Amino acid sequence: MNKTAKTSWVKQPFPLDLWRGFWVYALAIPAVIVILDQLTKYWAIRFFDVPHNICEINTRPGLSYEFSPIVDLALVCNPGISWGLLQGDSSLKRWALTIFAAVMCVVLLYVLAKSKDWLNRLSIALIIGGAIGNGIDRALYGAVTDFINFSDIGFRWVFNVADSAITCGVIGLIIASFVYKSDEAATEN
């Protein structure tokens, strides 16, 4: 075996390069979002001193706490999707939304693998983490636990960390579509 053949594998990038590669976006970032989401939901449920499965027991607990002039805590069980869309309580809808979220996570992982830029990858990772975080609640309790309330400043929706991650991810994808479209157009000219 010659010396170049012996050392050529050293020059190849490590396949699980966690700082620049696919895996940080496919696993690490979504895992951080899921952990933060589930911990904050657990904290909110403990704060209001209700059973962990409150959303399964009572979809309208009606609990709130005036935290500050800007943000309050309000325990809301959302059987729909982000921002209160697709409301209604049925077992079919619960499992259809759970399966849809799982399928979309797989599709997003495929899109993530094809993405070349960091903003698209980060945005997709945020959406995956948010979908998994809310999917866990929906699968276990039939509704998603929401608790962050900005109604004092006119924002009427109550949300959670997963909803925030999904929203930031969608905004990031929109921004990336303009930024990278402009870059592609500039390189073509």
Active-site residue set: 146, 163
Q: Is there a contact between 114 and 153 (Cβ–Cβ < 8 Å)? A: no
- Residue 164 parent element (H or E): helix 161-188
| DSSP secondary structure code for residue 71 in this structure | -
Strands 158-159 and 63-65: unpaired
C-alpha–C-alpha distance, residues 103 and 26, integer Å: 15
Sign of CA dihedral 14, 19, 20, 21: positive
Q: Residue 102 carries which side chain, given as an amino acid letter?
A: A
| DSSP secondary structure code for residue 18 in this structure | T
Q: Is there a contact between 149 and 74 (Cβ–Cβ < 8 Å)? A: yes
Q: Which residues contact 96 (CB under 8 A, 6 or more apart)?
A: none
Under the phi-then-psi rule, with left for phi > 0, alpha for psi from -120 to 50, and beta for the rest, what region is 168?
A: alpha
